[in-house]
Chain A
Amino acid sequence: MRGNTYTFFFITLVCIGCALIVAGAASALKSQQEFAERIDTYKNVLLAGGLIERGASISPQEVEKLYQEGIAGILVNVQGEVTSKETNLTPEAVLKQDKVLKGTPGYIEKEKREYPLYTVSKEGKIDAFIVPVYGKGLWSDLFGYLSLEADGKTIRNLVFYKEGETPGLGKEITKPWFQDQFVKKSYLNEANDITFTVGRPSSTPYPNATEVGGISGATITGRGVQKMIVDMMNLYRPYFEKSVWSKG
């Protein structure tokens, strides 16, 4: 029969051993993980911008090359001014910035907040805008990219790259049939007011330019998508009004 000292000694040894293995794996793989994460972001931006096809197999090197050639990021504020010619802000970072409560450290005044915006260039001209968007679904935060044609009004594409909705119901927002509905729609009505509706599920496309069909069994997720588009576009509206619409 072994004593308690042995048990303590044994457990300590096991703990140290396991901790070393876990820590070793985590730090050895860190750079590869960051690379994979970056490529994933690039891929989703390219996908939203229509530079690559959905489901196309494409090597990380190609993704990086396409991104560096075609995509540029800027930062804009809620007054519509461009505050930086570069960005590495992800939608998650923007959400974090918006979640800081007033009066706590790290809080930034609404007027001073910066939001990332990506542009797709083709032959020296702006071909599309990509707005990183986030919103609330039923269970989870939804993160995606909404791309707009060069007029800044017509939707080119909507891609979700991270969500935690119910598979088969809310998760349908990541499916082509749902996302394809947004193509050529707009977030503006004739009076240039921001509006968008994710309506009732429908087997025929909605004729209205600011409405798409929802998902049966996932009304709340649909409403979340609707609110996401309206809220986010309200933040970016000043920029588009100042720099894009007036020139069109």
Chain B
Amino acid sequence: MAKKGNLSVLTDPLWDSNPVMFQVLGICSSLAVTTQLVPSLIMAAGVTFVVCLSNVTISLMRNYIPNKVRIIVQLSVVSALVIMIDQLLRAYLYEQSKDLSVFVGLIITNCIVMGRLEAFAMSNPPWPSFLDGLGNSLGYSGVLVVVATVREILGNGAILGFKVVPQAFYDAGYQNFGLMLLPPGAFIILGLLVWLQRAISNKVID
């Protein structure tokens, strides 16, 4: 990998090489948790925590990890962090954790986490690894927030639980767009986002 400045390590994944829109990773959770904004924000925070910390941890260990078992070592570190998140949620955000705990467990298998460990943390010092993790998880979070915002407004007529579509609209016969709450709705929005990103960013040549 060509040597990049720390700044571009942080900013590239926000748009040009966004993990969801460009690398098409982490699609599963982007579809599953984005029916509303609150769970999306919690999920985004969870992934940010896990990606940053696991990147730093693996980067610190990178010179000692035997190559044969590196995936297993990465997985154990990631799993430990994810379980910690799950335990914290259960203690302090119990109501949300009831809905989210399945998906939190699945952060372990989120391709972004393993992808960053393999592609970056295994061959870079801790500080750039941290920035890389932060950049990627923020890129992921951004997509989550956009998708969730669109879905909640169209599907529930609300944002963060507050009604934004005025009652007059409903009285005039407007109905919430139920498809947006189902997985296909998320697919459509995600597809549009990928299209948008590739049309604007000049990075893709295909």
- The contact of B69 among A11, A25, A29, A37, by CB within 8 Å, is A11
Q: Are B65 and A25 in contact (CB under 8 A)?
A: no
Q: Name the interface residues of A15-49: CB closer than 8 Å to any CB of B.
A: 15, 17-18, 21-22, 25-26, 29, 32-33, 36-37, 39-40
Binds A, one of B81-89, B137-145, B195-203: B81-89
Q: Are B64 and A10 in contact (CB under 8 A)?
A: yes
Q: Name the interface residues of A29-85: CB closer than 8 Å to any CB of B.
A: 29, 32-33, 36-37, 39-40, 55
State the CA gap A17–B60 with chains docked (Å): 14
A residues in contact with B65, CB < 8 Å: 10
Question: Whole-angstrom distance from the CB of B87 to the nearest CB of chain A?
Answer: 5
Question: Whole-angstrom distance from the CB of B63 to the nearest CB of chain A?
Answer: 11
Q: Are A7 and B181 in contact (CB under 8 A)?
A: no
Residue B161 interfacial (CB < 8 Å): yes
Q: Are A33 and B181 in contact (CB under 8 A)?
A: no
Known A-B contacts A33-B87, A36-B90, A168-B178; A18 and B80 likewise in contact (beta carbons under 8 Å): yes
Known A-B contacts A7-B69, A39-B94, A167-B181; A25 and B76 likewise in contact (beta carbons under 8 Å): no
B residues in contact with A55, CB < 8 Å: 161
State the CA gap A225–B175 with chains docked (Å): 26
Q: Interface majority SS on B: helix, strand, loop or mixed? A: helix
CB 8 Å contact bits of A162-194 with B (1 = contact, 0 = none): 100001100000000000000000000000000
Q: How large is the interface on B (under 10, 10 to 19, 20 to 34, 35 or more residues)?
A: 20 to 34
Identity of the chain A residue whose Cβ is nearest the Cβ of B61 in the assembled complex? A14
Known A-B contacts A18-B76, A40-B94; A7 and B66 likewise in contact (beta carbons under 8 Å): yes
Q: Are A25 and B87 in contact (CB under 8 A)?
A: yes
Q: Are B92 and A26 in contact (CB under 8 A)?
A: no
Q: Name the interface residues of B50-91: CB closer than 8 Å to any CB of A.
A: 64-66, 68-69, 72-73, 76-77, 79-80, 83-84, 87-88, 90-91
Residue B48 interfacial (CB < 8 Å): no
Residue B30 interfacial (CB < 8 Å): no
Residue A99 interfacial (CB < 8 Å): no
B residues in contact with A36, CB < 8 Å: 90-92, 94
Task: Report B's interface with A, CB cutoff 8 A.
Answer: 35, 64-66, 68-69, 72-73, 76-77, 79-80, 83-84, 87-88, 90-92, 94-95, 98, 161, 178, 181-182
Task: Report A's interface with B, CB cutoff 8 A.
Answer: 2, 6-7, 10-11, 14-15, 17-18, 21-22, 25-26, 29, 32-33, 36-37, 39-40, 55, 162, 167-168
What are 7 sample pairs from A and B whose C-beta atoms fall under 8 A apart? A11-B69, A14-B73, A21-B84, A25-B83, A25-B84, A39-B94, A168-B35
